[in-house]
Structure 1
Amino acid sequence: MRAKGFLKSGHIPTLFSSFLYFDLSFMVWVILGPLGVAIAKSLHLDAAQKGFMVATPLLAGAVLRVVFGVLVDHIGPKRAGIIGQLIVLAGLGLAWLLGIHSYSQVLCLAVVLGVAGASFAVALPLASRWYPPEHQGLALGIAGAGNSGTALAALFAPTLAKTYGWTNVIGLAALPLALAFVVYLVFAKDSPTRPPAKKAAEYLDVLRQADCWWLMALYGVTFGGFSGLASSLTIYFNGEYHLDPVIAGFFTAACVFAGSAVRPVGGALADRLGGVNTLTVVYGIAALALFGASFHLAGPALALGVLMLAMMALGAGNGAVFQLAPQRFGREIGVVTGLVGAMGGIGGFYLASTLGLARQLTGSFQPGFLGFAALAIGAQFALLALKSRWRAVWPTLRGAGDAVPVRV
């Protein structure tokens, strides 16, 4: 009955278009990670430069998510998505035609790829606005499962780079993105209940509310961990266990698929059990797994299992955070999605860059893993302190027309 109600409550073509757009945009957003070994060899990069290279798209995406969150509120998510996809397609095409010959040039490409990461701030509101509150967790979990595109990059990019060269992979990546663009143009539609555009002061009002900052911090850990690992694990498995880049890419893809697959599960569990309860558990699991991964484990297979567990916990947490966000900020979901998503990108930049820096300075990835495990524990304790207030206050903040009770 619940599934039937979900299917009837929204707009499935838009949900699918959001997922595909998000999925293939995320594929190109993190593509420098799976190509990192080949790029580093070609451009003679050290460990810190590799870490910063794969982290730069995450930081650019973080900043641009705020920009696209504002665009979503002013021109609608569909138009904002069209603009973003055209920019990324043009950037990939130019990089392939002109070539990339220096570290500074690859960083310029990384900034353009950040526009693909900003798809988060478009795809989720596009899907969310079609669904009632009781189905928000599942709808956003399905649309958000597009972060599985990071696994496509890890799965195919190293093999294609070995066969055709890494610069040609940049051009090849534009082909599936173009297909997703056509699907998006044909099937995606803006919800008829789209709220009116807000004034600049109204965006600042959201930032004056502590709950917005808390949601940003929570997502900075869940999605930051997910995206940071997705961008770095090919380099990690190659550097720590000396795996061939193709095999390291397969290992990375397994981790990303595991994390992406459970994102809808995390949203659905949050719908049923509450977002706070779900997040409290997954932060603990993620912290333990990251702590374990910080040690040089007995072999790459064991490291794979531990990191898959970490990614599954973080992926479920991504879905749970976005079960909470529309309940607290339903009318401001466009800008809040951009802000929360931006912090997720910043978290990913922190993890990816610190893993590379730790390797450069200490010869080990351990300090980077331990630092992020500590953040997960901190988020868990913050939730325990916030839980009572949220459950008491959030239902009173709903509008008179919101008949569905809040499940925090």
Structure 2
Amino acid sequence: MATSFWSDEKTEGRSGFWASGHTPTLIAAFLYFDLAFMVWVLLGPLAPDIAKSLALTPTEKGLMVAVPTLAGALLRVVNGLLVDRIGPKRSGAISQMIVIGGMFSAWLLGVDSFIGTLVLGVILGFAGASFAIALPLASRWYPPEHQGKAMGLAGMGNSGTVLAALFAPTLAKLFGWNTVLGLACIPLSLVLVAYLILAKDAPNAPPPKSLGQYFTPLKQADAWWLMGFYAVTFGGFVGLAASLPIYFTDRFGLSTVTAGYCTAACVFAGSLVRPMGGALADKVGGIKTLSALFLVAAVALAGVGGAASVTAALVLFVIAMLALGTGNGAVFQLVPQRFSAELGVMTGLVGMAGGIGGFYLASSLGIAKQLTGSFQAGFLIFAALAVLALAGLTLVKNGWRRTWTAADGVRI
């Protein structure tokens, strides 16, 4: 008899994607990830208003939007450990409650200093760390041949950054930027309820390991390569998502609302293609996919530094985000092929590297602006990092294809 939509068991005898896993959990993972990412980058769209009210320097603005990224990066390791020890569902519920409580307190008490924005940034880091929970929550239900699509669909929750860019500037204009923190708690609470109802831990979770065993992957060079590649793809994506509102207002004098719309267009492009990146990697291989995308991203980011108009910058940012977003999905098609037994902790470690890449990009853009009066140096350096990633991938790809053992029909 066919398995029902709500069943915890995988459907037998059918190999289609939707029949191979647990759709309610996939939906829960997407919703959790989506709203978590919305608040993770919330300081970016609010940055022009916050900077004006608190008289922040360009470097302080850059650090303000970068701290949530760094905190999220470090906390992803913690969440990766929790996922493997207490399960992704409970880990996600705890993280969501911390974020809601922290944001509600910030709204109630107010944020009136640069140090206060940094403290808030650390709290928002718990939302960014959702990555290490949502992806294993969904992907453990799916077989290897569908890992790219499952992780891509769950990971498409990074589209929440679009919601922040679209609505935060307008709400700040109407009610004040501090009130936006309180308003965000409403959808976060609704998603928490849906998550508790829909999400279920997969029955094939690996047994808990000792603390030392969690870091065993770091003894292998492949783990560091995957972390480095994701530092470029996801780091570029989230770093731009947090920094573009500042870029568009400072570089071209756009209003915060218009800058939010421009940012939303760029972020939407990168979010939309993440599952496509996973599916493309499933079809042609993660290595081929990443190789092309690193090159496209490098060219687009290098070109942004010399963009003379809003239109030119917007086109180049969309191209860069399309490449980076697709690359995000491609990296996580490779991770479970190599580290299936350590997927929880590897998701945390690779995600941590991505967050560190985002912290570097966001903070370096602010520093470049203050030191040189332009964002160009920051973009050029990150473009160079994409070229280095391409060179590294070229160096290791033949060895990976010889030594990795992929499931039948899965391309590396």
TM-score, normalised by the number of residues in structure 1: 0.97
Picking from 335, 358, 379, the partner of 1:325 is 335
Aligned equivalent of 1:148: 159
Aligned equivalent of 1:249: 260
Q: Deviations over 1:148-203 (max 9, x none)?
A: 10111001000100000000001111111111101100000000001111111212
Give SS of 2:215's match.
helix
Picking from 123, 145, 165, the partner of 2:176 is 165
Give SS of 2:43's match.
coil
Picking from 391, 394, 403, the partner of 2:404 is 394
Alignment of 1:85 with 2:96, yes or no, is yes
Give SS of 2:25's match.
helix
Aligned equivalent of 2:369: 359
Q: Deviations over 1:120-171 (max 9, x none)?
A: 0000000010000000001100000000101110010001000000000011
Q: How does 1:205-216 map to 2 (within 5 A)?
A: 205-216=216-227
Q: Residue type of the partner of 1:226? A: F
Q: Deviations over 1:221-261 (max 9, x none)?
A: 00000000000000000000100010000000000000000
5+ residue gaps, structure 2, are: 1-13
Counterparts of 2:311 and 2:409, CA distance in 1: 45
Distance 1:148 1:281, change over 3 A: same
Aligned equivalent of 2:37: 26
Bigger shift: residues 299-308 or 349-358: 299-308
Computed over aligned residues only, the root mean square deviation of the Cα atoms, in angstroms, reads 1.0
Q: Residue type of the partner of 2:365? A: L
Alignment of 1:273 with 2:284, yes or no, is yes
Q: Residue type of the partner of 1:369? A: F
Aligned equivalent of 2:146: 135
Aligned equivalent of 1:108: 119
CA contact (8 A) 2:89 2:137 kept: yes
Following superposition, which runs of at least 4 residues in structure 1 exceed 6 angstroms of deviation? none
Q: Deviations over 1:294-319 (max 9, x none)?
A: 11x23101210110000000000000
CA contact (8 A) 1:228 1:347 kept: yes
Aligned equivalent of 2:320: 310
Alignment of 1:378 with 2:388, yes or no, is yes
Q: Deviations over 1:317-376 (max 9, x none)?
A: 000000000000001000000000000000000000000000000000001000100000
Q: Residue type of the partner of 2:334? A: L
Q: Deviations over 1:257-286 (max 9, x none)?
A: 000001011100000000000000000000
Q: How does 1:171-182 map to 2 (within 5 A)?
A: 171-182=182-193
Give SS of 1:389's match.
helix
Bigger shift: residues 116-125 or 202-211: 202-211
Deviation at 1:204, TM superposition (A): 2.4
Aligned equivalent of 1:289: 300
Deviation at 1:387, TM superposition (A): 0.8
Give SS of 2:201's match.
coil
Picking from 67, 80, 100, the partner of 2:78 is 67
Deviation at 1:90, TM superposition (A): 0.2
Counterparts of 2:98 and 2:107, CA distance in 1: 14
Q: Deviations over 1:381-401 (max 9, x none)?
A: 111111100000001xx6xxx
Give identity over the alignment, percent.
62
5+ residue gaps, structure 1, are: none
CA contact (8 A) 1:62 1:341 kept: yes
Counterparts of 1:406 and 1:339, CA distance in 2: 23
Alignment of 1:202 with 2:213, yes or no, is yes
Q: How does 1:258-269 map to 2 (within 5 A)?
A: 258-269=269-280
Aligned equivalent of 2:132: 121
Counterparts of 1:203 and 1:97, CA distance in 2: 39
Q: Residue type of the partner of 2:281? A: A
Aligned equivalent of 2:10: none
Counterparts of 1:152 and 1:193, CA distance in 2: 34
Picking from 179, 192, 202, the partner of 2:203 is 192
CA contact (8 A) 1:30 1:231 kept: yes
Deviation at 1:205, TM superposition (A): 1.3
Deviation at 1:406, TM superposition (A): 4.4
Give SS of 1:194's match.
coil
CA contact (8 A) 2:161 2:241 kept: yes
Aligned equivalent of 1:36: 47
Deviation at 1:404, TM superposition (A): 2.5
CA contact (8 A) 1:13 1:188 kept: yes
Counterparts of 2:227 and 2:190, CA distance in 1: 32
Counterparts of 2:48 and 2:121, CA distance in 1: 16
Deviation at 1:405, TM superposition (A): 5.0
Q: Residue type of the partner of 1:371? A: I
Q: Deviations over 1:94-125 (max 9, x none)?
A: 00000111111111000000000000000000
Counterparts of 1:331 and 1:96, CA distance in 2: 42
Counterparts of 2:218 and 2:144, CA distance in 1: 23
Give SS of 2:149's match.
helix
Q: Residue type of the partner of 1:307? A: F
Aligned equivalent of 2:360: 350
Q: Residue type of the partner of 2:65? A: V
Aligned equivalent of 2:23: 12
Q: Residue type of the partner of 2:390? A: Q
Counterparts of 2:215 and 2:84, CA distance in 1: 14
